[in-house]
Structure 1
Amino acid sequence: MFNNVGTGDRIIRLILASALAYFGLLIYSGSALGIGLTIAGAVLAISALAGSCMLYGLLGINTRKPQQN
């Protein structure tokens, strides 16, 4: 997989993922909104941990600096 998510972008994604998971699992638990928020948080967390975003790939966006591993 091609890494196209930079360090700053990954940190922001992890913060948003944890907020969405919090709202989905604790605040809106058991509702359709809660399930949607939890899934959105999981997708953000996976893309942050993997360092790759499919939407960025489709749009040709790359926030990763060339020297980052």
Structure 2
Amino acid sequence: MIIAREGKYTFIIHTRELAYEPPHVHIKFDDDQVRIELNGGNFMETPPSGERSDICSAYAKHVITIRQQWDSIHKR
């Protein structure tokens, strides 16, 4: 489910995640993808060189909506 878009970044929450995975959002851009863990805001994969700052800026604009939607979808 697409939650937000910011520039080239699309923030997606999958409706079916494994129970042991922490709350996280998938960020798709260009031909790549990374995830950010929502409890600590840490990347779950190393972002490509030169992308970290831009991803963090885009994420910060939507962090509240992303967390609210994740909680609503996953009920945990």
With the length of structure 1 as denominator, give the TM-score of the two structures.
0.29
Decide which structure has greater helix share: 1
With the length of structure 2 as denominator, give the TM-score of the two structures.
0.28
Which of 1 and 2 has greater Rg? 1
